[in-house]
Amino acid sequence: MTPDGDTAYEHEIPQFGLGVFLMSDNGECKSAVLNAFEAGYTHIDTARAYNNEHEVGEAVRESGVERESVFITTKLRRAHAVGYDETIEHCRKSLKLLDMDYIDLYLVHAPPENPEHRAPVWQAMEYCLEQGMVKSIGVSNYGPAHLEAMKGYAKYMPSVNQVEFNPWLQRPALKQATEAAGAKIMAYSPLARGHKVTDPKLEKIANELDCTPAQVAIKFCYDEGCITIPKSSRPERIIENIASLDVDISSHYEEIKALECNYVSGWDPTTEP
Ligand SMILES: NC(=O)c1ccc[n+]([C@@H]2O[C@H](COP(=O)([O-])OP(=O)(O)OC[C@H]3O[C@@H](n4cnc5c(N)ncnc54)[C@H](OP(=O)(O)O)[C@@H]3O)[C@@H](O)[C@H]2O)c1
């Protein structure tokens, strides 16, 4: 979407996917992606920083799924977000590692550390979009001020802002700023990196809903309208997590909302200058 609200480069993003962060053992990511396709996932979220783009590409080819029927997100590493040419060069490198003709969604992993790099990096993302190297572009870990600044230099606004979001970190102001910028929240760490799956309050809700605690957390993010990308390397959890989409949590919505405690499980660059 342009800053004026006009639509450009429409590309539908599946609202549920598999995150592949911390899958660094040889073959771990490939096997998880193969299991995910088997379980019905159509969206994989990787990044250069995860060092497993090549395994995502191998899994797509080995699975036999049509390239067009799966959606691959990857990200420009923060350390590489230092200029226009560097951004294009690293997009090409990701295409090479994935061994694909295009990336479905390419994200700036976090606001470039040097504020002066933010405009040229985004303009290079727009170049990648216009060249067809990527089908959609977005940001990750951008706060309201970073999004607001984009209006001054962006030809196309980001389609998503990937940030930590879960029942314990619901970020109403950031969600509102993201949506006002025309983007969707892509919820990373929907299980707070696994730190909260044994939360007794969550367990009680899950028991009453006859589902698992992880399913409650995942479905909450999904029902809040977020693109939701839980990570698991275990085949049974990969199945459990996608099965959350069939769980009706509406009767316990207020109780889940009340789990909010501003808990950041990972990092949070959204408030950086
Ligand atoms: N843009 C960013 O800065 C950023 C930052 C963090 C994450 N992400 C993305 O978001 C994805 C998800 O976030 P995340 O990996 O940080 O954390 P997460 O999805 O919240 O949690 C993953 C952890 O929970 C465990 N788990 C998964 N399913 C479970 C279940 N059903 N029951 C109990 N435990 C379960 C996993 O262990 P097992 O693998 O052993 O099942 C793993 O330890 C990442 O993989 C990555 O793609 C992006």
The mean per-residue pLDDT over the stretch 152-160 comes to: 98
How far does the centroid of ligand 1 lie from the alpha carbon of residue 91, in Å?
A: 24
Distance CA 42, CA 36 (A): 8
Gyration radius of the chain's alpha carbons: 18
Q: Does domain 18-264 have CATH number 3.30.2040.10?
A: no
User: Percentage of the chain with pLDDT > 70?
Assistant: 100
pLDDT of 9 strictly over 90: no
Q: Which residue is catalytic, options 9, 41, 50, 142?
A: 50
How far does the centroid of ligand 1 lie from the alpha carbon of residue 179, in Å?
A: 24
Protein residue with least CA distance to atom 34, ligand 1: 194
Protein residue with least CA distance to atom 41, ligand 1: 232
User: In terms of Cα–Cα distance, which of 271, 179, 167 is closest to 222?
Assistant: 167
CB-ligand 1 contact for 142 (6 Å cutoff): no
Buried-state track 61-74, b at ≥16 Cβ within 10 A, e below 16: eebeeeeeebbbbb
CB-ligand 1 contact for 140 (6 Å cutoff): yes
50 is catalytic: yes
CB-ligand 1 contact for 231 (6 Å cutoff): yes
User: In terms of Cα–Cα distance, which of 95, 93, 96, 161 is closest to 122?
Assistant: 161
Q: What is the pLDDT of residues 198-236, one digit of tens each?
A: 999 999 999 999 999 999 999 999 999 999 999 999 999
Cβ partners under 8 Å of residue 251, min gap 6? 209
CB-ligand 1 contact for 190 (6 Å cutoff): yes
CB-ligand 1 contact for 30 (6 Å cutoff): no
Out of 73, 106, 232, mutate this one to test ligand 1's pocket (max ligand atoms within 8 Å of CB): namely 232
Entry pTM: 0.98
Mean pLDDT of all residues belonging to the chain: 97
User: In terms of Cα–Cα distance, which of 73, 53, 264, 238 is closest to 171?
Assistant: 264
